[in-house]
Amino acid sequence: MSLDFLNPSAPLRDWDNVHVWHPFTPMSAYVRESAPIITGGDGFDLIDSTGRRYLDGISSLWCNVHGHRVPEIDEAVIRQVRDISHSTLLGLSGEPSIRLAKGLVDRAPAGLTRVFYSDSGATTVEVALKMAYQYHRQKPGGPEERDTFLCVGNAYHGDTLGTVSVGGIDLFHRCYRHLLFETVTTPSPVALRIPEGHTHQSWIQHCFDEVSRLVQQHHTRLAGVVMEPIVQGAAGILVHPVGYLKHVRDLCTHYDVPLIADEVAVGFGRTGRLFACEHEEVAPDFLCLAKGITGGYLPLGATLTTDRIFEAFLGEPWEGRTFYHGHTYTGNALGCAAGLASLELFETKNVLANVATCSELISRKLAALNVHPHVAEIRQKGLMVGIELVRDRETLAPFASTIRLGHQVILAARERGVIIRPLGDVIVLMPAPGMPPHHVEHLCDVTIECIDLVTRKVAAGL
């Protein structure tokens, strides 16, 4: 058997093109572009196989928190490797998973006392969906056959079939529609494109009223309400108006419907608080965490819930009340060790204060785009930024999809040593919460330059 794959001088580009299928990537275009092959990291830079450095402007798909090769996290993982890298949580336990569960509960909104581990953002939401569904069949007072979920328009919660069912981005998921269960959808409370007959104010009020109507109408069928608190990330950084999250929480409380808060993207400092729910003093019934939970080091997810939910699953083994769900690497020791070190760094490095400083800096720097002829809107909450590009600012007419304008902007940024990623023609900036201001300033400068350069070129037909 050949060991060519271990050869340090291997033809990585060729092997990448013929063997690796990249996620969310049009592969025919990818193989023509010679994307960087990342072989190293240093602070907030990525380093490719040629030695070139790039500023990591999307925190490695929204998960890196403190930078790359962080000594405190490196050392925590190395210490754990010397003890044990993994054992199962099925019927056994492990010290790092216990300590991380305690650390998460101590910091989470009040009442979230139970931690169920999994491997990714999608699995944390999938766990919450299944827990909520089963809870209603086992809760005190008798079972209820609640058979659906209410979700927010344009939602993205992952790519498992359950999370696709509660998602709402047609481009990603229309192929699988016959595999999905039915849900109830309430409109996303954002107002760049307002339906005919509405003003900005009346449309937002309609969104508040509609979620009230739908919860009231369907509450006896709703196993839960699923939402990304404050910001819908993959929808293009859609920022909800103040009070919407609290409004939904109050509805869920009144009608006794569990609230599932998907904080996979917005958690761990992205919005300016450790958890986005804190902005409106909301405690959900389920809190789904992943991405930044390990500082961006290792795949780990956690679904936090309440004693009320947990107790519905208690009983003698033969009663069948157990939550029959689990993953091989649930509560992985290395991931939990990294998570503990990351939580400690939030406090020792005063990360949330840095987020506040950098958030204000981003707002100030990107203000230059507020009058740009091809920028429809700049959406920002904390370090989560979406810059929507359009052909015509007044009519909001988009550029033709064949132009791949957003992709052209990120390629221009890559040439200037900055890694960003678009969502269609929305340019997303997502600096790590620990990124120092001078790097954030450079990220903004390059982004503005590239947007201006590419839109001028395309508008001129070049």
Among residues of the chain, what percentage have pLDDT more than 70?
99
* pLDDT tens string 399-450: 999 999 999 999 999 999 999 999 999 999 999 999 999 999 999 999 999 9
Q: Where in the chain is the domain with CATH 3.40.640.10?
A: 72-348
Work out the mean pLDDT of the chain and round it to a whole number: 96
3-class SS of residue 215: helix
* pLDDT tens string 51-93: 999 999 999 999 999 999 999 999 999 999 999 999 999 999 9
293 Cβ neighbours under 8 A, 6+ residues apart: 267, 268, 300, 301, 302, 335, 339, 342
Confidence at residue 455, expressed as pLDDT on a 0 to 100 scale: 96
Query: What is the pTM (predicted TM-score) of this model?
Result: 0.97
Give the integer Cα–Cα distance in Å for 262 and 286: 8
* pLDDT tens string 82-130: 999 999 999 999 999 999 999 999 999 999 999 999 999 999 999 999 9
Confidence at residue 460, expressed as pLDDT on a 0 to 100 scale: 82
Burial of 232 from C-beta contacts in 10 A (0-12 / 13-18 / 19+): buried
Give the integer Cα–Cα distance in Å for 89 and 87: 7
Confidence at residue 462, expressed as pLDDT on a 0 to 100 scale: 61
Helix 333-348 vs helix 95-107: crossing angle, to nearest 10: 40
Confidence at residue 413, expressed as pLDDT on a 0 to 100 scale: 98
Paired tokens of 100: 């991380």
**Is 4-66+350-459 in CATH node 3.40.50.1370?**
no
CATH fold, domain 72-348, is Aspartate Aminotransferase; domain 2 (3.40.640)
CA 423 and chain centroid, separation: 13
Q: Phi and psi dihedrals of 453, rounded to 5?
A: -60, -50
- Residue 9's pLDDT band, with cuts at 50, 70 and 90, is low
Q: Where in the chain is the domain with CATH 3.90.1150.10?
A: 4-66+350-459
Paired tokens of 454: 């590419």
Give the integer Cα–Cα distance in Å for 119 and 284: 21
